[in-house]
Amino acid sequence: MIFIHNKYTRIYYNIVINAQSRLLDKNTYTEKHHIIPKSLGGNDTKENLVSLTAREHFICHLLLIRMTAGDQKKKMAHAAWLMANASSKGQTRYKTTARIYESLRKIKSDTMKQIRGNLHHSFGVKRSIETRNLQSSLRQGKTYEELYDPDTVIRLKKLRSEQKKAETREKNKMSKQWTITSPNGTQYSFIGGLVDFCIEHSLRYNTIAEIANGKIPSRGKYKDWKVIKSSR
């Protein structure tokens, strides 16, 4: 399978299937999207094309990053980065939030770090003395307060704070330990990875998670599966 089997792939195809079956007002702005990207071997056939709103199109390209790995992930990161920055006549690009833009910059940066020499996009680029001095100062460990005006410092610190909160949420998510017993008595114990487990065993992730969090009064059961959650 060209895509990783995870929750992002499921969300991606839900958007695609919904778009294929709906009827939009003729004045609604849409963009053509390749379901299997051309850079991953997709084509221009009717079956591989779907009309998406600008917002849906951008979300799908963010999801594609999470649905791929290796060289394919690099290609999808590049495509999403272009969508966030490039514009052309007749296209109304979806405006990203600061958090998403920062995340894309990091992914793009991590990808480009793996490319060296004349293959790198900045090979041979001449930078101004001011830019070189700024880069040198950051490498020497100088603080934002020493390098930027107060308004810029506040904005950068806010972005950093949001990034730390996101990292904490992801860490907490992966620290959850699950003990799930199947109807035939087989017990599964694992840390994180509940989505993949539910996909593998044809279970509804949302229902399992809500039972474990006590949001559904089902005595910890779903389809005769027993669910227990604890933190490490």
pLDDT, tens only, 159-212: 777 777 776 666 655 557 778 888 888 888 877 667 777 877 788 877 777 777
Domain's final residue, options 42, 76, 95: 95
Domain match, 150 and 222 both: no
Domain match, 144 and 214 both: no
Domain membership of residue 108 (yes or no) is no
Domain match, 70 and 146 both: no
State the pLDDT confidence band at 50, using cuts at 50, 70 and 90: very high
Q: What is the CATH number of the domain that holds 203?
A: 1.10.10.10
Residue 135's pLDDT is 63
Domain match, 139 and 179 both: no
Residue 125's pLDDT is 60
Domain match, 30 and 76 both: yes
Which residue did the predictor score with more confidence, 229 or 25? 25
* Torsions phi, psi for 189 (to 5 deg): -125, 125
Residue 34, C-beta contacts closer than 8 angstroms, at least 6 positions apart: 42, 43, 44, 48, 49
Domain's final residue, options 95, 118, 145: 95
Domain membership of residue 81 (yes or no) is yes
Domain membership of residue 102 (yes or no) is no
DSSP assignment of 212-223 equals: HTT-S-STTEET
Tokens 């840390």 belong to residue:
191
Domain membership of residue 158 (yes or no) is yes
Whole-model pTM: value is: 0.46
Highest mean pLDDT among 16-25, 80-89, 195-204: 16-25
Question: What is the tally of structural domains in the chain?
Answer: 3
Q: Which residues are paired to 180 by β-bridges?
A: 188, 227
Domain membership of residue 72 (yes or no) is yes
Domain's final residue, options 45, 71, 95: 95
Domain match, 210 and 225 both: yes
Closest to 57 (Cα-Cα) out of 94, 107, 18, 112? 94
Tokens 């060209």 belong to residue:
2
Domain match, 187 and 165 both: no
Domain membership of residue 107 (yes or no) is no
Residue 104, C-beta contacts closer than 8 angstroms, at least 6 positions apart: 62, 77, 80, 81, 84, 96
Q: What span, in angstroms and rounded, lies between the C-alpha atoms of 157 and 208?
A: 37
The domain in which residue 187 lies consists of 175-231
Which residue did the predictor score with more confidence, 214 or 4? 4
Closest to 14 (Cα-Cα) out of 52, 40, 65, 54? 52
Domain match, 155 and 200 both: no
Q: Does residue 118 register a pLDDT over 50?
A: no
Would you say 76 and 61 are in contact if contact means Cβ atoms under 8 Å apart?
Answer: yes
Domain match, 149 and 79 both: no
Domain membership of residue 12 (yes or no) is yes
185: region left, alpha or beta (phi > 0 left; psi from -120 to 50 alpha): left
Domain match, 166 and 186 both: no
Domain match, 88 and 141 both: no
Domain membership of residue 103 (yes or no) is no
Domain match, 47 and 82 both: yes
